[in-house]
């Protein structure tokens, strides 16, 4: 693999070269670059994929029941027909959370897709197409882990709980009827309430 220029060297590990079979397909698991200039990546139409370890995600880490492991990440930078610089991507992996009913481990299968518009200032949000979520980057380079972590935190349940019948706590004391009466036990109801408050 030749190194044509300095930048190719910097992101060497995760750069998907034209015509090269995607790494995930070949089973190779490369680390993502730590820092990138997303605007420049968009202008160059870069696509990168690789893994990010949980220990690199400092805000997520305290929420994890098991802190070892990684997520698979695929990122596509580009510019759309309207000139919007964009970053779309996919994050997949098994996230080990703590069930808030029984306090034991609960595996959550994360499969998140996102489509972000890369903006330099809030004022650009007004012109944005509806297909995008805005990502404001006032300075570059940025830590890629921060962007990925934001998406992961939005995608995992805020109050993780096993399905009732799969939860060990459902066998002791609490009945399904009690749970229904409490109503708040449904994590989606709680999420809906949180959204209303905002």
Applying CB under 5 A, the residues found at the interface with Zn ion are 99, 101-102, 162, 167
Q: State the number of CA atoms in the 13 A half-sphere of 34 facing the CB.
A: 2
Parallel, antiparallel, or unpaired for β 47-53 and 105-119? unpaired
Rounded distance between C-alpha atoms, residue 63 and residue 149, angstroms: 12
The least distance separating Zn ion from the CB of residue 178, rounded to whole angstroms, comes to 15
Q: Between residues 125 and 191, which has the closer beta carbon with respect to Zn ion?
A: 191
Q: Which is nearer to Zn ion, 99 or 152 (CB)?
A: 99
CA distance 124 to 39: 15
Q: Output the residue with the shortest Cβ distance to Zn ion.
A: 99
Q: How far is the CB of 162 from Zn ion (least distance, A)?
A: 4
Please, what is the minimum distance in Å from the beta carbon of residue 168 to Zn ion?
Answer: 6
**CB 24 within 8 Å of CB 134:** no
Closer to Zn ion at the Cβ: 21 or 104?
A: 104
Q: For 81, what's the count of Cα atoms within 13 Å in the CB-facing half-sphere?
A: 1
In the complex with Zn ion, which residue's Cβ is closer, 15 or 97? 97
């Amino acid at each position: 693999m030749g190194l044509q220029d300095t930048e190719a060297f910097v992101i060497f590990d995760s750069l998907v070269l034209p015509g090269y079979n995607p790494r995930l397909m070949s089973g190779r698991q490369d680390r993502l670059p730590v820092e990138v200039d997303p605007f420049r990546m968009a202008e160059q139409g870069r696509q990168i994929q690789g893994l990010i370890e949980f220990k690199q995600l400092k805000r997520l880490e305290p929420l994890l029941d098991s802190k070892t492991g990684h997520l698979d990440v695929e990122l596509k930078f580009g510019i759309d027909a309207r000139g919007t610089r964009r970053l779309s991507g996919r994050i997949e992996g098994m996230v080990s959370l703590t069930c808030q009913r029984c306090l034991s481990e609960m595996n959550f299968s994360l499969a998140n897709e996102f489509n972000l518009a890369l903006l330099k200032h809030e004022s650009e949000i007004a012109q944005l197409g509806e297909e995008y979520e805005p990502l404001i980057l006032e300075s570059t380079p940025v830590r890629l882990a921060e962007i990925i972590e934001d998406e992961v935190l939005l995608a995992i349940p805020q109050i993780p709980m096993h399905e009732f019948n799969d939860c060990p706590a459902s066998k002791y004391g609490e009945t399904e009827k009690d749970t229904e009466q409490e109503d708040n036990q449904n994590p989606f109801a709680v999420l809906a309430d949180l959204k209303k408050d905002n």
